[in-house]
């Protein structure tokens, strides 16, 4: 069995990371479309108000937060390849 040179493996990982970034963006877009459904389906016995969930979901989808999450992922990956 032939081994893949390390540099080639790193290039493959970086290429896949770029592909994942596209998947990440698509997944976020789909999640954003479900926010109202999540809030509407919130069980009342959980004792969490719709306002609280709405506020937290808004924070979760803020561009600065999303970019920070991706950058952190990318940084961790780069430090470990």
Kindly report, residue by residue over 35-55, the tens digit of the pLDDT. 999 999 999 999 999 999 999
Predicted TM-score (pTM) of the model is 0.69
- Whether residue 31 contacts residue 20, with contact meaning beta carbons closer than 8 Å, is answered with no
Query: Where do the domains of the chain lie?
Result: 33-81
Q: How many CA atoms lie within 13 Å of 11's alpha carbon, on the beta-carbon side?
A: 5
Which positions ≥6 away from 38 have C-beta within 8 Å? 53, 57
pLDDT surpasses 70 at 25: yes
pLDDT of residue 10: 86
Among candidate residues 63, 48, 54, 51, the one with its CA nearest the CA of residue 35: 54
């Amino acid at each position: 069995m032939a081994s893949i040179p390390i540099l080639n493996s790193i290039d493959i990982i970086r290429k896949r990371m770029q592909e994942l970034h596209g998947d990440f963006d698509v997944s976020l877009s789909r999640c954003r479309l479900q926010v109202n459904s999540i809030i509407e389906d919130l069980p009342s016995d959980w004792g969490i108000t719709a306002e609280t969930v709405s506020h937290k979901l808004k924070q979760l989808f803020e561009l600065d937060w999303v970019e920070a999450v991706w950058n952190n992922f990318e940084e961790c990956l780069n430090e470990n390849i």
